[in-house]
Structure 1
Amino acid sequence: MADDPEQTPTPAHHAPGGRPSRRLDARGLRGLAHPLRMRILELLTLDGPATATRLTARLGENTGTISWHLRHLAEHGFIEEETGRGTRRERWWRRTEADNDLYTADFRDDPGSRGPLSVYLHELVRLHFNRVTDYVNEDWDDTWRRAGTVADWPGLRLTPEQLAALNAELFDVIARHTPPPDAAAAPDALPVVVQLQSFPRRERGET
């Protein structure tokens, strides 16, 4: 995310492989900035289309609540009904094709967006944390354990321009490893999540 709209900004999400993206405006941000709606969208993103009943079983909420949030997400264009599947009583929902890009500078002068922006960012961090926790707690064989990693590099000292360049290069690497949508996966391939958190840290001297 960039705090200066005059510079080329880096979004909270980056669509690899040339996928379409949607720049979140205030209305879209308010439509998405809710813990349950963000969790629903995450499940539809990671696991594919689902019905309200299936999401209810995953999230432990009642069907009426899930259905209401699904309709809300659809009204804001984040999900859509999968036509030709299901019934009038049991509809299937899928995420729309575009990724969501958020630029914090877009909301700097909008006091009404501060609350939704805070909810969105904190929930996004929590969802990312939970993905890592699930991976650590799950039982994987040695081959996958050696392939995966949870790492950090705390010793860098960079200018804003250098940090932006680092992120751009990392995004390019992910794009090179992202296969086309119609490419056949290898028999031993599994879904892989790549998470990147790179941000400045305020120095704290001795007290």
Structure 2
Amino acid sequence: MPENKQPGGKPPENASGERVLDARSLRGLAHPLRIQLLKSLRHDGPATASQLAERLNESSGATSYHLRQLAAHGFVEDDAERGKGRERWWKAAHNGTSFAEDLHTSTDPEVRGAADLFMHEIANIHTQELATWLGTKHDWPEPWATSGDLSDFTLNLTAAQLHELSEKLHAVIETYRTITPDPAEGADTAQVRVHLHSFPRSSQTR
């Protein structure tokens, strides 16, 4: 079945420029190494298959194969500005991914399995990133070491209110995408990761 695309041959995106996953593209992405490759290209910038293999402690043969699979599904593309001769550089085609609404309710076992794998890999990445921050926190200057957040809250909400809360939090984060620090002020910037986890909890959970 052909990829679901917008006019002009581009895969569907949302207003934030994130790739909207349908069943086919989700299955194409739901592999641990592919998720790691895409994360690395998004966070650390364009790279060759060999550079990614070194970053991720994998063989270049494995990274080359899975990069081609990601390209076939429109997740990565050639970086023409860096490629020279036979050296092929890759870059992420989108700044993020999101689920199409019907993926959350699909009863197709293959789709549900792919969604479960994808979400668990993302959860693992979040855990690794948080552990890295906690392990290196004291290496950062004081303003950075005290600006992060590790909070949790328990609220009594309806499903509609939880959805509204998520939408509002996303909207606030979006306002910071376009902020450009003034170089004249000597602003010290760093790439910042923001994790949002919200989910219902059964009162019987122990």
Pairs aligned (count): 188
Using a 3 Å threshold, how does the CA distance of structure 1 residues 205 and 79 change in structure 2: closer, same or farther? Answer: closer
Aligned equivalents of 1:104, 1:121: Cα separation in 2: 15
Using a 3 Å threshold, how does the CA distance of structure 1 residues 98 and 178 change in structure 2: closer, same or farther? Answer: closer
Aligned equivalents of 2:143, 2:22: Cα separation in 1: 43
1:196 aligns with 2:196: yes
Higher relative contact order, chain-length normalized (CA < 8 Å, sep 6+) = 1
Work out whether residues 53 and 59 of structure 2, in 8 Å CA contact, stay in contact via their aligned partners in 1. yes
Q: Which residue of 1 aligns with 2:152?
A: 152
Quote how far apart the aligned CAs of 1:165 are. 1.2
Aligned equivalents of 1:50, 1:85: Cα separation in 2: 9
Give 5+ residue unaligned stretches, structure 1.
1-13
1:68 aligns with 2:30: no
1:90 to 87, 90, 98: 87
Quote how far apart the aligned CAs of 1:23 are. 2.1
Q: CA RMSD in A?
A: 2.1
Bigger drift between 123-132 and 94-103 goes to: 94-103
Deviations 1:6-42 (CA, angstroms, capped at 9, x unpaired): xxxxxxxx96xx4323321121011100111100100
Deviations 1:35-55 (CA, angstroms, capped at 9, x unpaired): 111001001011111111111
The 5 A counterparts of 1:173-188 are 173-179=172-178, 183=180, 186=183, 187-188=187-188
Work out whether residues 27 and 114 of structure 2, in 8 Å CA contact, stay in contact via their aligned partners in 1. yes
Quote how far apart the aligned CAs of 1:149 are. 1.2
Letter in 1 for 2:63: I
Q: Which residue of 2 aligns with 1:6?
A: none
Aligned equivalents of 2:112, 2:101: Cα separation in 1: 10
Q: Which residue of 2 aligns with 1:168?
A: 167
Q: Which residue of 2 aligns with 1:57?
A: 54
Bigger drift between 133-142 and 27-36 goes to: 133-142
Give 5+ residue unaligned stretches, structure 2.
1-12
Q: Which residue of 1 aligns with 2:10?
A: none
Bigger drift between 33-42 and 89-98 goes to: 89-98
Aligned equivalents of 1:90, 1:33: Cα separation in 2: 27
Q: Which residue of 2 aligns with 1:110?
A: 108
Using a 3 Å threshold, how does the CA distance of structure 1 residues 188 and 97 change in structure 2: closer, same or farther? Answer: same
Aligned equivalents of 2:71, 2:182: Cα separation in 1: 30
Quote how far apart the aligned CAs of 1:205 are. 6.8
Query: What's the secondary structure of 1:147's corresponding residue?
Result: coil
Letter in 2 for 1:145: A
Work out whether residues 52 and 90 of structure 1, in 8 Å CA contact, stay in contact via their aligned partners in 2. no
